[in-house]
Amino acid sequence: MIKPHGSDTLNPLYVQDDAKRAELLKEAEGLPSIVVCSAAAANAVMMAGGYFNPLTGYMNKADALGTAEKMQTASGVFFPVPIVNMVEDASSIKDAKRIALKDPNVEGNPILAVMDVEAIETFTDDEMKMMTDKIFRTDDMEHPGVKAFNSVGKTCISGPIQVLNFSYFDKEFPETFRTAYQIREEMGKMGWEKVVAFQTRNPMHLAHEELCRMAWKAVKADGILVHMLLGKLKKGDIPADVRDACIRVMAENYFEPNTVLITGYGFDMLYAGPREAVLHALFRQNTGCTHLIVGRDHAGVGDYYGPFDAQTIFDDEVPKGALDIEIFNADHTAWSKKLNKVVMMRDVPDHTKEDFILLSGTKVRAMLSEGTAPPKEFSRPEVAKILITYYQGLEEKPEIKLGKHSG
């Protein structure tokens, strides 16, 4: 395992001592408070788990502008995106030096963290546009990440935090949600030193499974960390509990024992393409992984990014030595009719499009909704069965919410 980003040891912001946490919770009940937005709550959970090491709290305006413009805080710490607590109106805590942050995603808005307020600053419209353009490479409000980033206000509350819980993630996903320090501990117990991470916000079909196997073999890794996003997604994406079930049944049936660790993290998807790929690399380094698979259109949405922009950013924009984790660049993977196996397209230049089994997302969703499993060369039957149940449930009950926080 490699050392965390920015420090020799991981510094999670969750208050692990029970007595101290109870003391802080009691104090927080008497503090001025504010209900944060979902993105800020997810940022707190990620800092709590050590994923955003070496941050000690929410960034101030200078740090946010610096990370957006050149991936660097004012003090020179490499970080690919601003980690901020943005609100529309901070008047209720205007003169407070210490406040309680309340969770927007749990009923009753319980206290999530205690924060020492160092600054309350407001971004100008031009500064918001610059950050949007740099992070997302577009300011189109149809982009789900752009819309989310620009819909929560322009006022930034910065300062260190002490986090008191992990929001809904550890309760709704007790078998899957893990902090960065828990992942390090589990990999240590298994004796893993070289680990390849696979990021996913979707169920894993056969091509994803084989891609993990290819990377595992290529870098001679001890294990694979399948690390799924458990937070909010755009409308139409598969809820986290359904993805979790799909991934577990795939791993249990088709991977060698003790080669795959299935975990999840509590963050809302940014859909920021290249910048989000760098963030993914940073926090996988904090889990101890040595390699991250970055595939075609990694963390993308629609046609906002080129198919390999999330790979080239590591060569073109990330300063040499900024991260210790290595990137495993992957091409599109699909079943070759010629070779009777899943291949990376770049490895078979003699193939034409007709030589592959290729199904669009729209086609796959239509098949599953009709109760038809995709071909075995595309999806494992156990995975298809779970997805058919989900999609047919949507047809029968439009109000169904299998993942109430993930849609």
Query: Over the stretch 230-281, which tens digit does the pLDDT of each residue have?
Result: 988 777 778 888 999 999 999 999 998 889 999 999 999 899 999 999 999 9
Active-site residue identified among 11, 98, 202, 296 = 202
Would you say residue 325 has pLDDT above 90?
yes
C-alpha–C-alpha distance, residues 159 and 117, integer Å: 5
Tell me what pLDDT residue 405 has. 40
C-alpha–C-alpha distance, residues 79 and 304, integer Å: 22
Answer positive or negative: Cα dihedral of 264, 195, 204, 360. Answer: positive
C-alpha–C-alpha distance, residues 126 and 134, integer Å: 12
Active-site residue identified among 137, 201, 243, 380 = 201
What would the DSSP string read from start to end of 232-298?
Answer: ---TTSPPHHHHHHHHHHHHHHHS-TTSEEEEEE-------THHHHHHHHHHHHHTT-SEEEE-TTT
C-alpha–C-alpha distance, residues 327 and 282, integer Å: 11
Mean per-residue pLDDT of the chain: 92
Tell me what pLDDT residue 402 has. 34
Would you say residue 399 has pLDDT above 60?
no
Amino acid found at 285? Q
- Domains of the chain, with CATH numbers? 18-167 (3.10.400.10), 174-265+271-396 (3.40.50.620)
List pLDDT tens digits, range 91-111.
999 889 999 999 999 999 999
Q: Do β-strands 155-163 and 119-122 pair in parallel, antiparallel, or remain unpaired? A: antiparallel
C-alpha–C-alpha distance, residues 86 and 64, integer Å: 11
Q: Which of 13, 309, 318 is nearest to 161 (CA)?
A: 13
Q: Is residue 275 within 8 Å of 233, Cβ to Cβ?
A: no
Give the chain's largest Cα–Cα span.
69
List pLDDT tens digits, range 156-215.
999 999 999 999 999 999 999 999 999 999 999 999 999 999 999 888 889 999 999 999
User: The pTM is what?
Assistant: 0.91
Tell me what pLDDT residue 395 has. 60
Q: Is 201 a catalytic residue?
A: yes
Amino acid found at 18? D
Task: Give 392's pLDDT tier (boundaries 50, 70, 90).
Answer: confident
Which H or E run contains 22? helix 18-28
Q: Is 137 a catalytic residue?
A: no
Three-state secondary-structure class, residue 121: strand
